[in-house]
Homo-oligomer: A and B are copies of this chain.
């Protein structure tokens, strides 16, 4: 299986575990925005939004730049490729596991019919 940076996955999945942070990522996918604009859009205090941006920045998902008094946020260079790959790998395991269980059940049913 692919080797992932575990710390890295910890940080990005934790960053994704909040509806506001997911919303911010989708919003920045459309256009860059200042922290004030994001706070307004998500009906949140500036302090609350700053915390969320901090979490996204630490996970490498958002980059910010301060020009004068305005801090502008944009998407980071990380596109959740490892996260997508991890989930994909898991989904394959999951499918295989349930297929295997289905086969066992089918086998048991067949044996039942033979014994009837």
Contacts and interface: CB of A to CB of B under 8 A. Distances in A.
B19 A10 contact: yes
Interface stretch (A44-52, A64-72, A85-93, A106-114): A85-93
Indicate how many identical chains form the complex. 2
A11 B13 CA distance: 11
A17 interface: yes
Nearest to A19: B6
Interface residues of A, number: 35
Nearest to A6: B19
Given A10-B17, A13-B13, A19-B9, A97 B75 contact: yes
Contacts of A79: 91, 94-95
A116 interface: no
Contacts of A94: 29, 75, 79-80
A22 interface: yes
A15 B69 CA distance: 38
